Each structure stands twice: as C-alpha cells, then as structure tokens.
Amino acid sequence: MLEREILDRAARRRPYGRDVRLLVTGGAGFIGANFVHHTVVQRPDVAVIVLDSLTYAGNRASLASIDDRIDFVHGDVADANLVDRLVRGVDAVVHFAAESHNDNSLADPWPFVRTNVVGTVSLLQAVRRYDVRYHHISTDEVYGDLPLDDPRRFTEATPYNPSSPYSATKASSDMLVRAWTRSFGVRATISNCSNNYGPYQHVEKFIPRQITNLIDGVRPRLYGAGRNVRDWIHVDDHNSAVWAILERGRIGQTYLIGADGELDNRAVVRLLLEQFGCDPADFDFVTDRAGHDLRYAIDASLLRSELGWSPRFGEFRDGLAQTVRWYRDNQAWWRAGKASTERNYAAQGETTLR
C-alpha cells in the first residue's frame, strides 16, 4: 500500500536518530508549501509527509526544489480512510488544507463545506484515535470585520461573526477542534492568522494578482473604493509562529498571529506601483465584492508575550519587495495560471468603475 510505504520510507530516512514525523495537509498550497520549505530548512530532524489533493490552488511545483526531502501523498483530506492510515504513523499533524477564496465560496459553497468541515472532522477522528498532536490553521476572517475608524483589534476572546461561506466553514472547523479537545482530550491548538503574502501564492489573490498584472504592464485593480483594511503578515513569519505554537503552545489554546501590518488596499497598490517605478495613481477601481469585509486587525500580544515570538519582516515594505522579486524571478511557476484567473474574474462580472 502506497501510504504504508511512504510512512516506512520516512522512518528509514530519519537522520541523526530523529523521531518526529509530521503530516502537513495542504502542503502544496500557498502557506502550506512555505511551511514545508521552512521546516525542511530550519528543522532537518523532522520527517515531513505532505497530503494534498492538488486542486487548482495546490501546485506540486511549489515543492519541486525539496522533493527529495519530503514524502508526498496525493489525496483528499476528507477521505477518512486515507487520513486514518497516514495519521496512524505520525507524531503530529499541521492542518493547512482549506478552500480559501471568498469569491469562489460565494459562487459554490459545497467544496468549502467538504474540505473545511468534513476534512477537519476526518483529521480530528484520526488524531483522537491515535493520540497525535494536532495544530489547526485558521483565519481572522472568522471574526467578521471591524469598522474602519475603530481602534479595536481582534483578540482570542472576540466573538465569531463570519460573513462569507468560506469564513463560516472555517469558523465551523475551529469550533469542531474545540469540541474534540474538550470532549475527547485531543491535544490540539488553533491559530487564527491575518492576511498572508509571499512566494508561491496563487495569482487569484490580491497581492500576487497586482504584482503579476504590473509585470505584464496591466494596471492594478481595486475593489470598490480600495479602503478595505487588511493586517498583512509575510508567510515566513506566519510559519515561524506556527512552529512556536507547536513546540511551546498550551493545549486547547487559540493564538492569533499578526505582524501589526494594517494597510488599506489602496496603500498596498501604491507601494507596489512605487516598487515598479510607476505613478502611484496608475490603477483602476472595479465593482466591489459581495459581503466585502471592511477591516481586519490582529492583536498578537498573547503569542508574543507567552511564546516569545516576533516577526522577521517588521516592515511591510521589506517583505513586499522580497515578494515582488520572487514573482519576477519565478514566472514559470505562475504564468500558466494567469490567463485562466483573469478569465474567471471577468466571468464574475468585474467591471471597471473609473
């Protein structure tokens, strides 16, 4: 059986007497692939097994440079039998696998229910059965949004108030983790992170879409008035925080991950235009997205004070410059998906306003 062979091979390959085998779901997606790269480089004593269904948002090429240092299983996190076989042979699970695009969830919620809800239950049942440490990756979108002029930020005590099928399914998965921890003693932690950016992010997302448009000589596009605020964090900083939680986090605790990177979308686009040497007003407004949250803002003080974590990219401008360089230097990675992404946006009725 393929999964058994992979688990056995991972055990045989462990150098330095290493005894940690880690299952990473969604490890060919944006954040998951960066987490796998981070782990392979920073923690060579950990054997990594990746489970990914390779939907449009998962890209096997994201792992190509480390393919000989990981084991890959092509499969669905909602496949309870497959998940059971994999979890039985590992020491910890980090669950990144998720359908995560708000626009797509508005058009068809069912894939979000299957992956984000059913997939989480299949993992929880397996880690419960084999007493495996579990960390659950979630999003600040479960909290809804904040007014633009409100100084408050999300904390671990903020009530959930999701506003899209995507965020509702992620909120559901968080609640399931808490229930399995309380009812069955599952050794789990949760992290809710602000908006990530960095290498290997699909070109449908805000920052890589603007970067790739600029590379192609196309004006950036902003929903509505471009005043929606996001709290940006470089994906490498997110993943270093996940490891801090895995190693030192309290079981049953939720940690918010953020880097104090609040900026509205218009400011982000102007920074990108500056980095490309363009006029800062050289962008277009398009019809706003349904249910578009106004503002996200993370209070990560618990993570910082309790676990001693801090971001490497303290300045958003520096992380953005690194990201622009990556997309310039890795056009073969994103070029194939660019045209289809733009066709999808056009089909959704994206219309230039001014």
Record the tokens describing residue 287, joined without a space.
């019809």
The single-letter DSSP state of residue 189 is E
- The question of whether 140 is a catalytic residue gets the answer yes
**Taken in order 154, 160, 164, 166, is the CA torsion positive or negative?**
positive
Catalytic residue among 71, 141, 145, 264: 141
- The question of whether 262 is a catalytic residue gets the answer no
User: What is the rounded CA–CA span in Å between residue 250 and residue 253?
Assistant: 5
Catalytic residue among 52, 140, 237, 264: 140
User: What is the rounded CA–CA span in Å between residue 27 and residue 38?
Assistant: 12
The single-letter DSSP state of residue 330 is T
Q: How many CA atoms lie within 13 A of 61 on its CB side?
A: 14
Which amino acid belongs to residue 151? P
- Which helix (H) or strand (E) segment holds residue 36: the answer is helix 30-42
Q: How many CA atoms lie within 13 A of 252 on its CB side?
A: 7
Own/partner contacts of 52-58, CB < 8 Å, gap of 24 or more, are 52/25, 52/26, 52/27, 52/28, 52/97, 53/77, 53/97, 53/115, 54/28, 55/99, 55/111, 56/202, 56/337, 57/29, 57/30, 57/99, 57/100, 57/101, 57/202, 58/26, 58/28, 58/29
- Which helix (H) or strand (E) segment holds residue 192: the answer is strand 188-193
User: What is the rounded CA–CA span in Å between residue 322 and residue 199?
Assistant: 9
User: What is the rounded CA–CA span in Å between residue 303 and residue 306?
Assistant: 6
Sort residue 17 into left (φ over 0), alpha (ψ -120 to 50) or beta.
Answer: left
Residue 151: helix, strand or coil by DSSP? coil
Q: Which of 92, 101, 99, 140 lies closest to 119 in space, CA to CA?
A: 99
Residue 175 contacts residue 133 (beta carbons within 8 Å): no
- The question of whether 52 is a catalytic residue gets the answer no
Q: Which residues are catalytic?
A: 140-141, 166
